Structure 1
Amino acid sequence: MLLERPSDDVYYDALIRRDAAYDGFAYVCVTSTGIFCRFTCPARKPKKENCVFRETTAECLDAGFRACKRCRPMLRMKGNEPTVAQLLDALDREPQRRWRESDIEALGLDLSTVRRAFKRQFGMSFLEIARQRRVGLAVESLVTGSDVIEAQLDAGFESGSGFRAAITQLFGEAPQSLRGKTLLKADWIETPIGPMMAIACDHALHLLEFIDRPALPAEIRRLQKTNGCGIVMGRTTVTDRIESELRRYFDGYNDGFSTPLAGHGTPFERMVWDELRRIPAGTVRSYSEQANAIGRTSAVRAVARANGANQIAIVVPCHRVLGVNGLLTGYGGGLWRKRWLLEHEKRMVASLTPMTELQERRA
């Protein structure tokens, strides 16, 4: 139990209280600003829905967040090694510089001492941290329409091939193809049955899954490959819209979902998913009934595979399809969640029915 990760509720409560006991053990990443902080940061506390909690600064950096300049989470509160503070200060002054080992030696620092200090504190070297900062600045420049060569020079890369390799490694495509594009943005949405990850562009929702779904990493890689662009932390108006609709759903309102969905999948899969959305809340089907509904009576297994390939949980309600004899089966978010969702929808429909009948009688 001592090794169990605290819940986001516990973390957020500690953040609001500015609990110093968490310093060095957890950090808050603020999706609305792209910055990560200590729990004791004096800045105004963000809304809970804009918070993602990480256990190390390396995780925060890997997710694309920048260190807060007020609370300086990259520095320890006590006993920080002078070499670490000195180099981080230098990096803040020149984030676009291409730092080399010779630059570290020019500051009168021992390379092996610096390497051990940064690995011990951050799990990565100073040069790796500096590289992430440069690449992040370059991507920001590219997506606003800058020329590749201009972004390359601004980021401190003398070699075009080195710059392309760095961008490709992080975002899966070459710099010139990033120019002028809007990257997909990923953010967490809290629900009563666990946090979900929503990935969206400015126009449509591309993925909505529970973050503990085992297939989620593979789905993200497939999405990245299919769209040919990178995924960064952040929110869009689509994210806000699906979060609002999910909140009403979990509050018991049977309004349905109107958030636009991206058109992923094969034609057959899209046909199966469209039919899933026609299943009313509070009802269930078998896989064979689902196959009959799309006019493919012999494609029961193919329908089951298409259900499993659905990456928009709840909105495309594959949880409303059951196995043989009504058995709970085939739900990537966990069978306990499938049962919870079905029972929730039954209660939701039952609570709304009497009001509907009363309105009809009055009419």
Structure 2
Amino acid sequence: MSIHDSPARHDPATLYAALCARDPAFEGRVLVGVVSTGIFCRLTCPARKPRPENCRWFANADEAARAGFRPCKRCQPLGGVPDDATIARLRRAIEAEPSRPWSEADLIRLGHEPSTIRRAFRRQFGMTFLQMARQARLKAGAARMAQGDKVIEAQLDAGFESASGFRAAFARLFGYPPAAMRADGGGLVADWIDTPLGGMIAVGDDNALHLLEFPDRKALKAQLARVSVASGQRIGLGRSAATRRTAEQLGQFFAGERASFDLPIHPHGTEFQRRVWAALRDIPAGETRSYAQIAQAIGQPRAIRAVARANACNGIAIVIPCHRVIGADGSLTGYAGGLWRKERLIAVENAYRTPANSGLGA
């Protein structure tokens, strides 16, 4: 969609959908004033979303201020906003040199204010520029190790000057030290998959997908341990038939070409949790359910809190769509991968509600 200077070029429904999705395409071009609070915000503001009738749309901060609104202290709409081209250039710089140990000094040399870049990346991607660069370095090291390289070689290739720093960062990301992640020619392997919402860790073998998670999720280490214990296998590094198919279908999903997944999965949980996860997979893309509705669907209408806990324990994100469960009042509630990702996923799936996409699937 082409974005122009004036919000008048877009109907209120489009702007409200962008607000709910925290769409970064409108950064620096449209602001929203909230009548009920008297505050104006960026459309990417993480605050709870107002009702559509309480929204007023402005092209810039001066217009909002003249209308009597004051700036939000949370999203700081008066601060400078890097344009899309600047953010794209910085992302390409990481992709061009994934092993480079980027620093704030590098950003200053490129003419950027580090705190501005930090806020912009966190709003749009849920992580800072330096965190994204660090993940790229770890990904590079994991790729080298998956090819059979020694740890020290992978460490140097990933741009880490000390072995202890590489091991510590790797352990934080995967839950295992790098030497323990060496693939041994079979069984479960951990693979890195790039998505528009950031990298994801996929664990699978040639038969099924066992885990799919965002690396910044706090529970990732426990999830990996649970998969390892339940399967009786140590998880190596590499690519399996299951992780390869997962990468392909995720690409199709985000491209608007696949509304559902036909991946063989092996979720690790209790019998109750698996029933909840099966009910989640029955929710069509583009639709949502409340925790109470899921409890009704599994025949235990009083187990609303247990359903919420099972939802939070889901270890196969997106494929088991726990992001489609919302609060009874329509609020998005929490999401282990970050509320901004939940908003983006729901926005992506809204396209699958149209008649043209209704036949998309496996």
Q: How does the TM-score come out when normalised to structure 1?
A: 0.54
Q: Counterparts of 1:325 and 1:181 in 2: how far apart (Å)?
A: 50
Tell me the equivalent position of 1:304: 308
Tell me the equivalent position of 1:293: 297
Instruction: Give runs of aligned pairs for residues 195-206 of structure 1, distance below 5 A.
Output: 195-206=199-210
CA deviations over 1:184-222 (Å, ceiling 9, x no partner): 101111111111110001110000011111211121122
Deviation at 1:278, TM superposition (A): 0.5
Instruction: Give runs of aligned pairs for residues 87-236 of structure 1, distance below 5 A.
Output: 121-123=161-163, 182-236=186-240
Instruction: Give runs of aligned pairs for residues 1-363 of structure 1, distance below 5 A.
Output: 9-14=92-97, 53-54=136-137, 66-67=149-150, 74=156, 121-123=161-163, 182-350=186-354, 352=356
Q: Counterparts of 1:322 and 1:352 in 2: how far apart (Å)?
A: 26
Amino acid at match of 2:339: L
1:245–1:298 Cα change, 3 Å: same
Note if contact 2:141-2:155 (Cα within 8 Å) is conserved in structure 1. Answer: no
Secondary structure of the structure 1 residue equivalent to 2:201: strand
Task: Could you tell me which runs of 5 or more consecutive residues in structure 2 were left unpaired when the two chains were aligned.
Answer: 1-88, 104-134, 168-176
Note if contact 1:273-1:310 (Cα within 8 Å) is conserved in structure 2. Answer: yes
1:230–1:284 Cα change, 3 Å: same
CA deviations over 1:138-174 (Å, ceiling 9, x no partner): xxxxxxxxxxxxxxxxxxxxxxxxxxxxxx99659xx
Deviation at 1:297, TM superposition (A): 0.5
Deviation at 1:122, TM superposition (A): 3.1
Amino acid at match of 1:123: A
Of all paired residues, the percent bearing the same amino acid is 39
CA deviations over 1:306-354 (Å, ceiling 9, x no partner): 111110111111111111301111310111111111111112322625x
Amino acid at match of 2:95: Y
Q: Counterparts of 1:279 and 1:63 in 2: how far apart (Å)?
A: 36
Task: Could you tell me which runs of 5 or more consecutive residues in structure 1 were left unpaired when the two chains were aligned.
Answer: 1-5, 16-21, 27-51, 76-119, 129-167, 173-177, 357-363
Note if contact 1:197-1:207 (Cα within 8 Å) is conserved in structure 2. Answer: yes
CA deviations over 1:53-107 (Å, ceiling 9, x no partner): 32699988888951599x99859xxxxxxxxxxxxxxxxxxxxxxxxxxxxxxxx
Q: Counterparts of 1:73 and 1:211 in 2: how far apart (Å)?
A: 19
Note if contact 1:8-1:53 (Cα within 8 Å) is conserved in structure 2. Answer: no
Tell me the equivalent position of 1:108: none
Higher radius of gyration, 1 or 2:
1
Deviation at 1:284, TM superposition (A): 0.7
Q: Counterparts of 2:280 and 2:296 in 1: how far apart (Å)?
A: 12
Secondary structure of the structure 1 residue equivalent to 2:273: helix
Q: Counterparts of 2:248 and 2:140 in 1: how far apart (Å)?
A: 31
Amino acid at match of 1:230: R
Tell me the equivalent position of 1:29: none
Note if contact 1:56-1:122 (Cα within 8 Å) is conserved in structure 2. Answer: no
Q: Counterparts of 2:196 and 2:293 in 1: how far apart (Å)?
A: 30
Q: Counterparts of 1:188 and 1:72 in 2: how far apart (Å)?
A: 15
Amino acid at match of 2:93: V
How many positions carry a matched residue from both structures?
Answer: 229
Q: Counterparts of 2:91 and 2:234 in 1: how far apart (Å)?
A: 27
Deviation at 1:25, TM superposition (A): 7.0
Which structure ranks higher in relative contact order (CA pairs < 8 Å, sequence separation ≥ 6)? 2
Q: Counterparts of 1:279 and 1:255 in 2: how far apart (Å)?
A: 11
1:72–1:341 Cα change, 3 Å: closer
Q: Counterparts of 2:349 and 2:141 in 1: how far apart (Å)?
A: 41
Amino acid at match of 2:163: G
Q: How does the TM-score come out when normalised to structure 2?
A: 0.54
Q: Counterparts of 1:276 and 1:300 in 2: how far apart (Å)?
A: 14
